[in-house]
């Protein structure tokens, strides 16, 4: 493991600029867990794809697991492309440049934001149930997703957690575009990303041999069964 500029980013040189480096999200979580040396932290997974990765990290390190619901605001004609994101506390960030380039009207933006806020509220209730909002004051938090492309979703999550007055904020993602990784790293204490890639085209899925969307029911099952599963041993 080495330091990637800036000096709070940690990656694996052998994986840099490579594709298909993880078998699946479980393998990716084990890879990150081997890099992290934290014994007192709360692991927060961003649903839905970040939950399997976060669960492996939490189990391997013997840490507690919770969920930080954040959702991108997608284009009406392309549910894979987002022009912003909404966090669990209702906070919002918009990509104004992309909004203009896409020709979205302000009405379309308002509709998209309102729809996404409802989605975040519903997903939070489903994945967290009646549990009170986590108390993170002065705690170390490890915020996990399955990858960083534009970084919008992670940025909104980081800002929301900053308002919770956490102690140290650590971001852990298996793969990320170099530009997004460096941008997020400026907002947190430490960022772990074993597979950093650059270039004009980037897809999170390219880092995985097996890739499929994680359903809300799958994420819900992982969270519900987490406390009943014994910590797994680290994999080499």
pLDDT score for 3: 47
Residue 81 located in a structural domain = yes
For residues 98 and 154, membership in a common domain is answered with: no
For residues 95 and 199, membership in a common domain is answered with: no
Q: Which residues of the chain have pLDDT under 50?
A: 3, 228-236
* pLDDT tens string 171-226: 999 999 999 999 999 999 999 999 999 999 899 999 999 999 999 899 999 998 88
pLDDT score for 42: 94
Residue 234 located in a structural domain = no
Distance, CA of 61 to CA of 30 (rounded, Å) = 10
Q: Which helix (H) or strand (E) holds 140?
A: strand 140-144
CA dist 60 to 36, 57, 182, 207, 208, Å?
10, 5, 27, 22, 20
Cis amide bond preceding 48, omega within 30: yes
Beta bridge partners of 74: 82
- Contacts by residues 80-83 (CB-CB < 8 Å, ≥ 24 positions apart): 82/150, 82/152, 82/153, 83/109, 83/112
Beta bridge partners of 146: none
Tell me how many degrees the CA angle 128-132-134 measures, rounded to the nearest 5: 85
Q: pTM of the prediction?
A: 0.89
Direct distance between the N- and C-terminal alpha carbons of the chain, in angstroms, rounded to an integer:
14
Pick from 217, 233, 214: which is nearest to 225 by CA?
Answer: 217
Distance, CA of 188 to CA of 114 (rounded, Å) = 28
In the Cβ-directed half-sphere of 96, how many Cα atoms lie within 13 Å? 0
For residues 54 and 117, membership in a common domain is answered with: no
For residues 146 and 192, membership in a common domain is answered with: yes
State the residue range of the domain holding 102. 73-127
Distance, CA of 222 to CA of 224 (rounded, Å) = 6
For residues 46 and 79, membership in a common domain is answered with: no
For residues 95 and 166, membership in a common domain is answered with: no
Give how many domains the chain has, as a whole number. Answer: 2
Distance, CA of 52 to CA of 99 (rounded, Å) = 32
Contact 21, 12 (CB under 8 A): no
pLDDT score for 168: 94
Distance, CA of 184 to CA of 165 (rounded, Å) = 17
Contact 184, 148 (CB under 8 A): yes
pLDDT score for 29: 97
Look up residue 178 and give its two tokens: 């170099």
CATH code assigned at 155: 3.40.50.2020
For residues 152 and 201, membership in a common domain is answered with: yes
Contact 142, 44 (CB under 8 A): yes
Look up residue 34 and give its two tokens: 């081997």
């Amino acid at each position: 493991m080495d330091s990637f500029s800036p000096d709070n980013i940690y990656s694996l040189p052998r994986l840099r600029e490579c594709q298909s480096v993880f078998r699946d999200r479980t393998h990716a979580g084990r890879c990150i867990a081997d890099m992290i040396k934290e014994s007192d932290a709360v692991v927060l997974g961003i649903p839905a794809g970040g939950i399997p990765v976060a669960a492996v990290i939490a189990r391997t390190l013997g840490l507690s697991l919770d969920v930080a619901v954040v959702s991108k605001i997608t284009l009406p004609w392309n549910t894979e492309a987002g022009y912003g994101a909404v966090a669990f506390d209702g906070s919002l960030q918009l990509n104004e440049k992309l909004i203009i380039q896409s020709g979205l009207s302000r009405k379309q933006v308002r509709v998209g934001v309102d729809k996404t806020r409802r989605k975040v509220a519903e997903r939070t209730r489903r994945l967290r149930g009646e549990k009170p909002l986590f108390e993170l004051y002065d705690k170390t938090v490890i915020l996990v997703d399955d990858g960083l492309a534009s970084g919008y979703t992670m940025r909104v999550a980081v800002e929301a957690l900053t308002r919770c007055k956490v102690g140290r904020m650590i971001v852990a993602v298996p793969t990320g575009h170099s530009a997004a990784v460096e941008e997020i790293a400026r907002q947190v204490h430490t960022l772990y990303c074993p597979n950093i890639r650059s270039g004009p085209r980037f897809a999170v899925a390219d880092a995985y041999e097996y890739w499929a969307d994680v359903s809300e029911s799958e994420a819900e099952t992982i969270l519900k069964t987490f406390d009943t599963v014994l910590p797994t041993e680290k994999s080499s």
